[in-house]
Structure 1
Amino acid sequence: MFDVSSLGVIAALLAGTISFVSPCVLPLVPGYVSYIAGHTGVTGAERSRRNAVWLSFCFVLGFSTIFMALGASATALGQSLFRWRFELNLIGGAVVILFGLFMLGAARIQTMERDLRFNLDLPGGQPVAAYVLGLAFGFG
């Protein structure tokens, strides 16, 4: 009835649908859609469907850029660091312990108490803004 490849596609589609309707993502959708389209939809300002589709494509392109870059770099980095797996496991364990001590307040690390933010003033309804928003969504 189903071969293995179609079963994988169905599983990926189902997983994507479940992650989209999760409580972490679904409440963000109206804000993202209105920012990408450049209006809230309540104001009565009508944009062409073609413009909305184009801006949505730019958002998806930004989102996809992050996932392709992270996937390719993680694969390449993982293959190049494989020979130091044992040492990296020890270092990773020490970092996790250090993070735990930091969260408990037992260790103060000034570098970890910094806040770095990018304040971009990109108006909605622009292809660049939609792409950057897709990048931010992918990183998030």
Structure 2
Amino acid sequence: MAVDVLTEIVIDRPCPVVAGYAGDPSNATEWYANIESVEWRTAPPVRAGSAMDFVARFLGRRLAYTYEVVELVPGERLVMRTAQGPFPMRTTYTWQPVDPGRTRMTLRNQGEPAGFGKVAAPVMAAAMRRANEKDLARLKRILES
């Protein structure tokens, strides 16, 4: 069973500010509660082909994975994917101006779990949705303060 979780939020900051901050993987530990570290494999800044090693905690487990940027439209869209591990994942951020001072950001996680993950996919999707909603709310608080 595939997992496809889409969350969104409106942030009271201009699109270039939101995209610039959220689209920089170096900031992930500040607004993602479950991400413990990010180490660049390639030199910043982020661009198509960039790779970063992430360490996260999810459902009580430590996860280490490498994201590769597969698409970047500055200020509009960032797509990263990982292929290794029990749960290959594709993460997409989009940013759209609501008006000059507000931005709609979407966060979408898609993946095809293997092994036990197939059985647990519905539980994983619900946990991901809750985590993403909290992370986007945290991002909003950071950028609006």
> Normalization by structure 2: what TM-score?
0.26
**Higher RCO (CA-CA < 8 Å; seq separation 6+):** 1
> Normalization by structure 1: what TM-score?
0.26
- Greater helix percent: which structure? 1
